[in-house]
Amino acid sequence: MDNENLNNEINETEQVNNEEVTVIEEKDQVIEETAVKEEPVQTVKEEPAARTYEEPVRRAYEEPQFYYNIPVYTQEVKESKPKKSGGKFWMAATAVLMAICLVTSSFAIGTVVGKDGNKDTVVNSNKENKTEITRPEEIPNTMVQTPEYSYTQNVNPGERMDVPTLVAKVSPSVVDILTTSDAGGSLGTGVIYTEDGYIITCAHVIDDATSVTVYLHEDDTEYEAVVIGFDTYSDIGVIKIDKTGLPAAQFGESHKLVPGEQVVAIGTPYSLELTHTITEGLVSDRRDNYSIPDLGVTLDLIQHSATINPGNSGGPLFNMYGQVVGINSVKIMTGGTSNYEDIGFAIQMETALPIAEQIIIEGQVVRPQIDIKGATESTLGGVYVGAIVKGGAAEKADIKVGDLITRIDGQRVKSVDERITLLGTYPFGDEIEVTILRGVDVVTTTVILQEPVEE
């Protein structure tokens, strides 16, 4: 059969298929009727129009998109009535409408990472909240040693736990977070960091919040929280409630995770009625310095298959020792006909804990800089040097305006975000090797990292 006849046959088949079945919805019943080709379908006036479902045209590939796992309410969230002894706030009572980003890739998330040039954005308190925060001088070391993974340990009940045992142990350290903002409200999850009320979550959960309410699993009560600060480049934020004696989580070492290791995610997807939803999965791998262009960030992540959905953002990812090894943040998904299932990402604790500590103690996150004003060069990939800050590290290293920074310590740098994130992994005073494209020449120079120079 030649191509022309084949195409005609396909077109005729599609036309017949589109005309063969009409689905008519009448109250609670769905009736399928086979239409006769010779007779046109009659439309009854003043009746709801029948909905016709057509087989979608499948494309070979659809570009995946990253979304933060946070549902956004499209109507203002009603305040719950004051309670004498606390109690669970049920979403059914608020009569709000929720837009789910799983429905379509064209959905616009209302919590997008924001940046102020090359500076980190850190907010020290809720908008219009005058509460003074007394910052501690230091935070006790909360990271505990994670045993080296052994494939024989999964049968040792003395160390590794089964899922029901693990959930019973760690659930009290997981909290629900409901925020309100000028755009409405949103739902997220958090994990208790310290016994005196500090809670770690994702920056995008709280970055535009005018008020934050925390719901404890332990005693089913709610507390107003203060935003201590957040860092948009790492997507880590910290809030605090006025309560002591909280069941703080144990935090493990993400770098000891191995592909195939079992993990458990706990969070609150969709609404507060689904609080402490539990999913389990496997670690695919650690994705260090992983760039997410859709969100404008580069993060050290753990890819895993534990299902996470809007509302899981900021929630913990546990290993089977009951230790938090990641903070769930983003997932891959698309609209249309392509489905990407169980591709979730959690922020590694080696990133999250130092950032949280800086936010609590300093109120901000300061990263080493090379003191340039740059822009992402999209064609060649790299950071174009637009200006040099006088007295900064770049000037001392003889970096010039017009240079294109392509590598730092041998690692490819494709954007401003990657540069900022990568530099944040070095301590002040470290020497790094910077590779530059200067005209047609490749130049290498050594930069001594220092604190940003005030202009």
DSSP letter for 102, please. T
Catalytic choice (120, 208, 231, 235): 235
What confidence tier does 366 reach under pLDDT thresholds 50, 70, 90? confident
Q: What is the pLDDT of residues 257-274, one digit of tens each?
A: 999 999 999 999 888 888
What is residue 130's predicted lDDT score, i.e. its pLDDT?
A: 56
Q: What's this model's pTM, rounded to 2 decimal places?
A: 0.63
The residue out of 366, 385, 417 marking a domain boundary is 366
Of 211, 284, 305, 313, the catalytic one is 313
Are 257 and 406 within one domain?
Answer: no
Residue keyed to tokens 């948009």: 232
| Higher per-residue confidence, 86 vs 2 | 2
pLDDT above 90: residue 301: yes
**Among 173, 186, 204, 291, the one annotated catalytic:** 204
Q: Is residue 189 part of a domain?
A: yes
pLDDT digits (tens, 9 = 90+) for 157-201: 447 898 999 999 999 999 999 999 888 888 999 999 999 999 999
Q: Look at residues 33, 55, 77 and tell me which one is the last residue of a structural domain.
A: 55
Residue 196 is encoded by which pair of tokens?
């005196």
Residue 381 lies inside a defined structural domain of this protein: yes
Residue 75 lies in a domain: yes
Are both 261 and 195 inside the same structural domain? yes
- 276 in catalytic set: no
- DSSP character string of 328-395: EEEEEE-STT----S-EEEEEHHHHHHHHHHHHHHSS----B--EEEEE-TTT-SEEEEEE-TTSHHH
Indicate whether 260 and 306 sit together in one domain: yes
Give residue-wise pLDDT tens across range 28-46. 444 344 444 444 545 444 4
Residue 235: active-site member: yes
Say whether both 318 and 255 belong to one domain: yes
Its domain, for residue 404, covers 372-448
Domain final residue pick, 335, 366, 397 = 366
CATH number, domain of 253, equals 2.40.10.120
Q: Are residues 264 and 342 in the same domain?
A: yes
- Claim to verify: residue 104 and residue 186 sit in the same structural domain: yes
Task: Report yes or no: 313 and 295 within 8 Å, Cβ to Cβ.
Answer: no
Report yes or no on 421 lying in a domain: yes
At 1 the pLDDT is 52
Percent of the chain beyond pLDDT 90?
35
When divided into structural domains, the chain yields a total of 3
CA–chain centroid gap for 423, Å, is 21
